[in-house]
Chains A and B, each alone.
Chain A
Amino acid sequence: MKFKRLLNRESTWVFVLLLPNIIVFLMFSLGPLVASFFFSFTEWDLMSPMEWVGLRNYIELFKDETFLKSLWNTIYFTLGTVPVGVIISLFLAVALNQRIKGVRIFRAAFFLPVIASWIAASLVWMWMYNPEFGLLNYFLGLIGIKGPRWLSSLNWAMPSIIMTVIWKTLGFNMLLFLAGLQGIPKSYYEAAEIDGARWFGKFKHVTVPLLSHTTLFVVIISVINSFQAFDLIYMMTFGGPARSTSVLVFYLYQNAFRYFRMGYASAIAYVLFFLVLIFAVVQFLLQKRRVIS
């Protein structure tokens, strides 16, 4: 009888039906987030007992040249991928929002790299970048340029990675922009046409201002994703040559799972989390209204 009464209460149902979500949330999100924060104040190699070190990891981080280098590389990587990627994808979306023949095929072509795994993309591009037999240096050779050694070159490794990332993420940003463009009423363009605006005028005075929300959104997502780059760096350069492509997450990975410095790695994780949080909060505030209604 008591069981039956419990079943009739909606709050019991809420709890039972949310149980899988609650368990995963506590076990794999909230719990680890708190644990990670705690670990960042300790020194621990998984074998010997954990030692409380206070802020030492954080202090050490900002004296650690490899960490600072990785932080700088993350910024370099972000500045290299985001502005160019966003601008190209914006123009692409505007172009593919026109009524032109074969628009579906064009969209599919630009979207194709998005569905590939980072590992597949890395492998294909490692082969593209091959200094002697890769396609890229072959084409450069045709126009009389001796191509660099791309991934094994100190100066070219990061730009190579950046080019691959732009190639891989262009279609994703393009789609977000296309979704944004679909939200602009046709009447705005008609009004601009009556005022005598040519295509660039329409682009400048209608598309760009009305798309500013989408643009900000795409920029923030791209920045957050750039901070977390790992797969292709692991694959293509393993942080090298000479740490020139070592980014935050890569250094975190090395500390945690190569050097087994769990506390130190957790401190890096929290620096990463803090950076992501700044951008995520801005985005969250922008989105909140849309989500809750």
Chain B
Amino acid sequence: MKKKHPWKIILYVVLGVGALIMIAPFLWMISTSLKSIDEVFSYPPSIIGDTIRWDNYIRIGERYPFGRFFINSTIVTSVVVVCQLFTSSLGGYVFARLKFRFRDTIFLVYLATMMIPIHVTLIPIFLIMRFLGLIDRLPALILTDIATAFGTFLMRQFYLNIPASLEDAAKIDGCNPFTTYWRIFLPLSKPALATLGVFIFMGMWNDFVRPLIFINSVENMTLTLGLANMQGSYSTDWPVLMAGTFISLLPVLIFFLFAQDFFVKSVTLSGLKE
């Protein structure tokens, strides 16, 4: 029998207060998003207003095409997720399983590019997008991320641990490197793909710098940039702003509730980034 430690109670209190501080801003956001503007500017603040104002969630779309922002974010995010999962698994497979000269050196150089901050290359990338006529168009937000060193690295680490016997069997069956990848390695890597997918999803959904630089028209904005602009013109309409913020968080939040372990894993792995 273990006796109850008094320090455990202290631990619970500290963690409880800490956790409350962490989620308080989110609760405050939800609470504000359901109040009328008069209640928001009253003292002392209440947790729940006298009436629950769902119409704040409708008013988000009044002055800005909020639905459009959501669709744009969805398009950019899903295209990048699909493309990058494909190029990363392909690249990871090549670096893990095929043999060629200077393979590990080339890989290391590629890996080193993860350390380049986006801000350092932003001006030339902007010029490339301008040259390609992609300024103010969604492909500008997609192209730079259809293949990344980090994704390739992650998949390579996974493929390194697959037994060679599978590969040999495929070779005997007459598979070429691509069909070996497609029929054997890709189906095996579902867990790794899910982890990487969550990571890409989070990064793209929350991206702000590139939309800020590449997108000008309101109808082409993603959620982050759209919200930033809404803040400019709704500066004191906190209920509407908080409603918009909450909706922008919802997809990631829902994803997180259902796939917490993948999130945790992807973020831990992303620690290897940079």
Contacts and interface: CB of A to CB of B under 8 A. Distances in A.
Contact of A221 (B28, B91, B274): B274
Interface string B194-206: 0000000010011
B3 interface: no
Given A115-B202, A119-B227, A280-B274, A291 B153 contact: yes
Nearest to B272: A287
B271 A276 contact: no
A99 B253 CA distance: 26
B34 interface: no
Given A133-B45, A176-B268, A284-B112, A119 B224 contact: yes
A17 B178 contact: yes
A7 B231 CA distance: 56
Given A23-B147, A27-B128, A120-B248, 15 more contacts: A10-B98, A31-B124, A33-B113, A35-B123, A36-B121, A36-B123, A100-B12, A117-B224, A117-B248, A119-B225, A179-B271, A234-B228, A269-B119, A276-B117, A292-B108
Contact of B87 (A20, A125, A249): A20
A197 interface: no
B123 A269 contact: yes
A122 B12 CA distance: 29
B144 A24 contact: yes
B268 A179 contact: yes
B267 interface: yes
Given A113-B22, A276-B117, A217 B231 contact: no
B189 interface: no
Nearest to A276: B117
A109 B146 contact: no
Nearest to B12: A100
Closest 9 CB pairs of A and B: A117-B206, A32-B124, A32-B121, A109-B19, A35-B124, A280-B115, A24-B147, A13-B177, A20-B87
B7 A199 contact: yes
A116 B98 contact: no
A16 B87 CA distance: 11
A194 interface: no
A82 interface: no
A113 B29 CA distance: 13
20 contacts: A17-B178, A25-B113, A28-B143, A28-B144, A32-B121, A32-B122, A36-B124, A39-B123, A106-B15, A109-B23, A115-B256, A117-B205, A120-B248, A123-B227, A124-B29, A128-B28, A132-B41, A172-B271, A178-B268, A221-B271
Given A33-B120, A35-B124, A284-B115, A20 B98 contact: no
A291 B121 contact: no
A107 B111 CA distance: 31
Interface in B240-265: 241-242, 245, 248-249, 252-253, 256, 260, 263-264
B201 to A, nearest CB: 10
A252 B121 CA distance: 12
B116 interface: yes
Contacts of B118: 228
Contact of A114 (B19, B176, B267, B272): B267
Contacts of B24: 135
A210 interface: no
A256 interface: yes
A100 B8 contact: yes
Nearest to A224: B274
B199 to A, nearest CB: 11
A23 B100 CA distance: 19
Interface in B123-145: 123-128, 143-144
Nearest to A217: B271
Interface string A48-64: 00000000000000000
Interface stretch (A69-77, A90-98, A146-154, A184-192): A90-98
B159 interface: no
A67 interface: no
A162 B228 CA distance: 20
A231 interface: yes
A284 B112 CA distance: 8
B48 to A, nearest CB: 14
Contacts of A175: 264, 267-268, 271
A17 B12 contact: no
A231 B211 CA distance: 11
Contacts of B249: 115-117, 120
A227 to B, nearest CB: 8
A24 B146 contact: yes
